[in-house]
Amino acid sequence: MGRGDGRDRRVTVGPVDDAGATKLHVDMDAFYASVELLDHPELVGLPAIVGHASGRAVVSSATYEARRAGVRSAMPVAQALRLCPSAVVLEPHFDKYAHYSKLVVGILGDVTPLVEQVSIDEAFLDVAGAVRLLGSPARIGAGIRRRVFDATGLTCSVGAAGTKFMAKLASTMAKPDGMLVIPVAETLEFLHPLPIGALWGVGPSTQETLHRYGLRTVGDVASTPLDVLRGWVGDVSGVRLHELANGIDPRTVQPESREKSIGHEQTFEHDVTDRAVARRELLRLATQVGARLRSHSLVARTVSLKLRFADFRTITRSRTLAEPTNVGKRIFAEAVELLDAALQPGDAVRLLGVRGENLLADGAGAPLLWDPDEDWRDAEQAVDRVAARFGAGTITSAALVGTRPRSVGDTANAGVLREREEGRSGRRDSAADPRPGDRTRDQGPSRG
């Protein structure tokens, strides 16, 4: 499978096409880095890294020149600079990325209403209905690439195939700045020689298991009896891998994907050992999460706390509420209980994160006869009105005034920037499913 740095690149050349390859995957090339280079044309062709200039910062994106030196997203900036000392570090500007993402999605919407945006820089399209008006899938894909570049100065890669999985695979192989069409009749011929790491859901652990049983290629997985595969990797994973290896992916393009979660996290410049400091930062993060939930007219059924310790051990604790909320004070109250239960004396905290999950439309539930958060809700809505008129941060909690510790910078994530089915820095095995009540997930050492 292509690595996104130009190695193993495959593109469609000539009239190769297929009318059934109507699932398209459009992926912007090194999106954050490419946007930054619009303001720094002198750096085009040189290694550049997008990330905060701090020893605790991580790489948000990198140009392909830097990637060829081994730089990857989510890698500590310090490590990236050791691999590529000549790289220039550029501060991220997330407002710019959102602006260009909106422009690109608008172009895709002109082609078909069936657009599923899965992250800020990638989307699936179903162009079956557009073929009669706009021509073959290859022609549509070429038109998208041309329009995106003309409107933004940015390049994108496009994959076209009969399923979402194959379209995603094709766009990855076409990177950077290319297009690959996989005719439906050639799906298995194309797929089976690839290494098993090309399959969604095959992370290092699953790959090691399959290698232990002698499976090296996707074709090996396809030819393994389903019952045997299920015994090796579990029922759900076995069925999924067997279907993908045989070119089966029934998922449709979903134009209105619901937000999965909204959260904020903070990496500290220096490890925090003072529990009072950690609680104040938790209040700040919970306040931001509540404000963003309200701005999207959403409430969260679950509050999740993320903790990364000085040794990079990362844990997640969550709690499902009796009543969903978008009140920052309630989110903080739940999160601080999780924090107090998770911290041991002497623990040093490297990162804190708060997230609202299991989102619902505000007002979707039955009205309460008595609302214990009514006063706090009224106060926070008043703050929202002030912020809308005079800017965020005009009014804040007295506990937060002048108390912010040195930090690398906020990382904000929302379902609007949807969870990717495949990470930039490599795939990972499926996570455990959430259950009501408190939940614990130890993620082990995780640098970033």
Tens digits of per-residue pLDDT, 303-360? Answer: 999 999 999 899 999 988 878 899 999 999 999 999 999 999 889 999 999 999 988 8
Nearest to residue 289, comparing CAs of 332, 324, 320?
332
Residues of the chain scoring pLDDT < 50: 1-6, 366-370, 401, 406-411, 413-448
Q: Is 335 exposed, middle or buried (0-12, 13-18, 19+ CB in 10 A)?
A: buried
Considering the candidates 116, 122, 281, 334, report the single residue annotated as catalytic: 122
Q: Which residues are annotated as a binding site for Mg(2+)?
A: 27, 121
Length of the chain counted residue by residue? 448
Report how far residue 288's alpha carbon sits from residue 306's, in angstroms, rounded to the nearest whole number. 15
Q: Do the beta carbons of residue 4 and residue 67 sit within 8 Å?
A: yes
How many CA atoms lie less than 13 Å away from 169 in the CB half-sphere? 25
CATH 3.40.1170.60 spans which residues of the chain? 32-94
Report how far residue 228's alpha carbon sits from residue 233's, in angstroms, rounded to the nearest whole number. 9
Q: What are phi and psi of 317, to 5 degrees?
A: -125, 135
Q: What is the DSSP string of 48-59?
A: EEES-SSTT-B-
Q: Specify the 3-state DSSP secondary structure of 118.
A: strand
Amino acid, res. 49: I
Report how far residue 174's alpha carbon sits from residue 196's, in angstroms, rounded to the nearest whole number. 19
Q: Do the beta carbons of residue 53 and residue 77 sit within 8 Å?
A: yes
Q: Do the beta carbons of residue 23 and residue 163 sit within 8 Å?
A: yes
Q: Please report where in the chains the tokens 């912007």 appear, as a residue.
A: 28
Report how far residue 171's alpha carbon sits from residue 28's, in angstroms, rounded to the nearest whole number. 10
Angle at 24 between CA 19 and CA 27, to 5 degrees: 150
Q: 261-445: which CATH topology?
A: Dna Ligase; domain 1 (3.30.1490)
pTM: 0.65
CATH 1.10.150.20 spans which residues of the chain? 196-245
Report how far residue 46's alpha carbon sits from residue 63's, in angstroms, rounded to the nearest whole number. 8
Report how far residue 189's alpha carbon sits from residue 193's, in angstroms, rounded to the nearest whole number. 7
pLDDT given for residue 436 in this prediction: 32
Orientation angle between helical segments 328-342 and 374-390, nearest 10 degrees: 110
Q: Please report where in the chains the tokens 């999740």 appear, as a residue.
A: 304
Q: Which residues are annotated as a binding site?
A: 27, 121
pLDDT given for residue 206 in this prediction: 87
Nearest to residue 287, comparing CAs of 414, 173, 200, 376?
376
Report how far residue 375's alpha carbon sits from residue 61's, in angstroms, rounded to the nearest whole number. 43
pLDDT given for residue 391 in this prediction: 61
pLDDT given for residue 203 in this prediction: 81
The CATH H-level superfamily of 196-245 is 5' to 3' exonuclease, C-terminal subdomain (1.10.150.20)
Is 36 known to be catalytic? no
Q: Do the beta carbons of residue 356 and residue 293 sit within 8 Å?
A: yes
**How many angstroms from the chain centroid is the CA of residue 152?**
22
From residue 311, alpha-carbon distances to 348, 349, 445 in Å are 9, 9, 8
Structure tokens at 136: 């073959």
Say how many Å lie between the first and final Cα of the chain, rounded.
25
Class of domain 32-94: alpha beta
pLDDT given for residue 303 in this prediction: 95
